A and B are shown apart, each in its own frame.
Chain A
Amino acid sequence: MWRYLAAPALFIVLLGFFLVGLFRDPTLVPSPLINQPAPQFELPQLLDPERTLALSDLATGEPVLLNVWATWCVGCRQEHGMLVDISRSGEIPIFGLNWKDDRTAALRWLERLGDPYVAVAVDDDGRVAIDWGVYGSPETFLLDGQGIIRYKHIGPIDQAVWEREFRPRIAQLRQGDS
């Protein structure tokens, strides 16, 4: 008798999860790092592995974006055009963190789809991503001029996200600076 109840019981547990899941935004993750100084890193650059990119390079006195991406990530592909547009418009410099990726594939990707990044750091083993609390890609961090994380967006950036989440915050940061 009991084994026949296993199926309905399992399903009801599943329903509970769905109910909880429905009221959560899968793209929203609170980060304990918001308003904290960004974790330090120093990693080789994608285009020129001889050179490195460090957190100090990001603290330029101006707000910057750090975009975590990989060629195996579908969402990254989706948002890439948007990133290229943003970088062309010169609104804000974008740095990249190439996460657990294949170097040649990443280079090909930039060659084919355009390179929106000022510089890309290569995080081969994902250590830096762990420090930064990256759950999945794409993720984009907004840093102020002093290297403090002000906002983090999970999932692809599109026009709507850009105008709703990023633009006002960037404007606010710029105002605060002046």
Chain B
Amino acid sequence: MVPELGQVALVLALILAVVQSVAPLWGSYTGNRVLMSLAKPAVTGQLVFAAVAFGALTYAFVTHDFSVAFVAGHSNSELPMFYRFGAVWGGHEGSLLLWILVLAIWSVLVAVFSRQMPERFVARVLGVLGVVAVGFLSFTLFTSNPFDRLIPAPVDGQDLNPILQDPALMFHPPLLYIGYVGFAVAFAFAIAALLEGRIDAAWARWTRPWTTAAWLFLTLGISLGSWWAYYELGWGGWWFWDPVENASFLPWLVGTALIHSLAVTEKRGLFKSWTLLLAISAFSLSLLGTFLVRSGILVSVHAFAADPSRGMYILAFMGIVVTVALALYAWRAPSMASDAGFKPLSRETFLLANNILLVIATLLILLGTLYPLFMDALNLGKISVGPPYFDLAFMIPMFPLMLLIGIGLHTMWRQTPSTPVWRKLRIPALAALVIGIPMPLFFYGTAGALTVLGSILAFWVMITAVIDLLPRVGPARLTRSHIGMCVAHFGLGVLILGVTFVSSYDLEVDRAGIPGQPVDLAGYEFTLLGTRGVQGPNFDAIEAEIEVSRDGEFVTTLYPQKRVYRVQRDPITQTAIGGGWRRELLVSMGEPLGDGAWSLRIQYKPLVRYIWLGTIFMALGGVIAISDRRYRLARRRETEPATTGSAPAAAGGQG
């Protein structure tokens, strides 16, 4: 019964989504306030029914209802409870349901926190979000119903793919989707602005926290996915430029550009049409990502269902939504162009450079990702584009970007600063050189040109971000939004530091681990003490005990495993990680070599942790920026008109 309940809830959610998209948009043109006021109850109801549907599928997983095809395909009676929850989004149908739920949550949040915005504008935003919801709800119901029954029901399920049975992967898709779908909000704001035919500082101020929120979740989602690939796939890599990874990285890059462009639109009323285009693009790239991942049009390690009817549907939906949005943009944006100018060394110039470089990076990665598809469609043959292209193509815009970040932070809006930037930045520049050049040489002996450059830029970005928080260097009044920016930029520096050092100095060996005989790597000695059989809830494993020491002193003991899940019998290597801030040590087991010996892969990853630490700082910066007073003051001003005293000052401050 419960799956049917979920099914009915999904149908009701679709009906409400249709109401949510048609009524307020219609009402906004006819001036019918009753129709416009339908938006909020419709979106709330849609959330309730989406949650019921999601709950019903979760219930089917928890109670092992294998008569539901999706459950039978992605669970098993031995699957631990924790993973039964996560298995809901462990496959195509369930992840669409998660998409729908997340979109409904975002939409309701917009409805709740929109009191300071004009009624007609809110109606249009919710209407656009409704259109997106209709697209995904009907996609789910008509091509990928998670509640389809299997008759007769199988005795047991086929189990969740073992490599997905991992804590990080439980949280990776939700975070990623919250980010992806969050860009739908910025998209809806942009379309509503185009429908209104005007865009002002208030629009940018409403849009900014939503965009930042989506961006910070996407940041965490991508980061968690990278961390998962790093320790679970056991290859020690943290980014593979796989089409599916690129699909999440492209909206992130454009979202980052959007955050910066929105700042200019809010503070100076410039870049208006450009901001709108970025807002449309960020969400379009999220849709593109969904299409690439779900249609199987590109060959990927993460290859999912390659069902042409599904691909066709998403393509049609994406085609309509994005073409209409871009056509609306081409029609309305020219009249919104801003004509205010700015001086060459003003902050606007640097943010423009930031945007250009980020968009170049986006286009280069998009080109590399889609190139095989273009070649094939033109009958020019099948090719694959690999990391060598992406590494190089990405580095070209990134080096100047890193250099300019530090300068742009210390410039002023509108004008060339009174004290030359150079005078303010010569000490940070010197510090970055003094720390950045010797560090790789001192700790690791040798350093290539790229390593030294990366190291200098990492410290340059970190130092220039931190000093901007100091009195007399940074702005006189520190707003949260400014602090958030500095923290995020500092995080970027930390990330570059990690990337630079781990790419330059990681080491690995594959050796026979013979009990009692140590293997040397990077000054560490790894000794296999022995192996034993271990039983997990749904797998059997052989676990090795490996003692790590350095200069005769005990460091840690690692327990890598070789697992065989009882249903899907492929052996899975569970890497053991000796964590640390200076380096991480990874040991994974290969094949048994007889006499208790095993082939071992041992990896040494210096500073690798800083990659993920950096992304945490970036996300934290986003949180701080969202908590800025002016986003809340604007609302209070609406409800308590008497207390407007300090609001204009705060809104007009630095940021």
Interface residues of A (CB under 8 A from B): 1, 4-5, 7-8, 11-12, 14-24, 26-27, 29, 72, 74-75, 78, 81, 108, 111-114, 135-136, 154-155
Contacts and interface: CB of A to CB of B under 8 A. Distances in A.
Nearest to B324: A8
A71 B334 CA distance: 51
A14 B291 CA distance: 13
A110 to B, nearest CB: 10
Main secondary structure of the interface of B (DSSP, over half): helix
Contacts of B382: 26, 29, 135-136, 154
Contact of B315 (A22, A113, A114, A154): A22
Contacts, number: 93
Contact of A7 (B296, B297, B330, B377): B330
Contacts of A154: 382
B295 A4 contact: no
Interface of B: 240, 242, 273, 277, 280-281, 284, 291, 295-299, 301, 308, 311-312, 315, 318-319, 322-323, 326-327, 329-330, 333-334, 370, 372-374, 376-377, 381-384, 386-387, 510, 570-571, 590-591, 599, 601
B591 A113 contact: yes
B570 A26 contact: no
Contacts of A24: 376-377
A69 to B, nearest CB: 14
Nearest to A19: B315
Contacts of A81: 570-571
A15 B319 contact: yes
Contacts of A29: 382
Contacts of A1: 334
A17 B301 contact: no
Contacts of B301: 74-75, 78
Nearest to B273: A4
B377 A4 contact: no
A130 B93 CA distance: 41
Tell me which of A24, A29, A113, A114 has the highest count of chain B C-beta atoms within 10 A of its own C-beta. Answer: A24
Contacts of A114: 591
A124 to B, nearest CB: 16
Label chain A's interface by main secondary structure.
helix
Nearest to A154: B382
B218 to A, nearest CB: 22
A135 B273 contact: no
Contact of B295 (A22, A75, A136): A22
Contact of A26 (B284, B326, B376): B376
B299 A26 contact: yes
A21 B295 CA distance: 10
Given A7-B330, A22-B312, 6 more contacts: A4-B334, A8-B330, A11-B326, A22-B297, A26-B376, A72-B386
Q: Which of A14, A21, A81, A113 has the most CB of B within 10 A?
A: A21
20 contacts: A5-B330, A7-B277, A7-B281, A15-B318, A15-B323, A16-B377, A17-B373, A18-B297, A20-B377, A21-B377, A23-B308, A24-B376, A26-B376, A27-B299, A74-B240, A81-B571, A112-B591, A135-B381, A136-B382, A155-B299
Contacts of A14: 370
In the A-B complex, list the 6 residue pairs whose CB atoms are closest, starting with the nearest: A8-B326, A112-B590, A136-B384, A20-B377, A135-B382, A108-B510
Contacts of B298: 26
Contacts of A108: 510
Nearest to B235: A77
B510 A112 contact: yes
A18 B591 contact: no
A154 B387 CA distance: 20
B153 to A, nearest CB: 24
Nearest to B509: A108
Given A29-B382, A114-B591, A7 B329 contact: yes
A22 B326 contact: no
B311 A136 contact: no
B291 A18 contact: yes
A136 B383 contact: yes
A108 B373 CA distance: 33
Given A19-B315, A112-B510, A74 B322 contact: no
A18 B382 CA distance: 15
Contact of A11 (B284, B297, B308, B571): B284
A8 B547 CA distance: 60
B139 to A, nearest CB: 15
Nearest to B242: A74
Contacts of B291: 18
A22 B308 CA distance: 7
Nearest to A26: B299
A113 B382 CA distance: 28
Contacts of B386: 72
A21 B326 contact: no
A155 B298 CA distance: 12
A20 B296 CA distance: 13
Nearest to A27: B299
A19 B308 CA distance: 10
A111 B510 contact: yes
Contacts of A27: 299
Nearest to B384: A136
Nearest to A78: B301
Contacts of B373: 17-18, 21, 26
B290 to A, nearest CB: 12
Given A18-B297, A75-B301, A135 B383 contact: yes
Contacts of B334: 1, 4
Nearest to A112: B590
A86 to B, nearest CB: 15
A74 B242 CA distance: 9
B244 to A, nearest CB: 11
Contacts of B599: 111-112
B467 to A, nearest CB: 39
A18 B315 contact: yes
Contacts of A21: 297, 373, 376-377
A8 to B, nearest CB: 4
Contacts of A5: 330
Contact of A17 (B242, B377, B384, B601): B377
Contacts of A4: 273, 329-330, 333-334
A7 B570 contact: no
A91 to B, nearest CB: 19
Nearest to B373: A21
A155 B296 CA distance: 13
A135 B601 CA distance: 30
A11 B301 CA distance: 27
B377 A8 contact: no
Contacts of B296: 26
A141 to B, nearest CB: 15
B406 to A, nearest CB: 31
A8 B384 contact: no
A102 B386 CA distance: 16
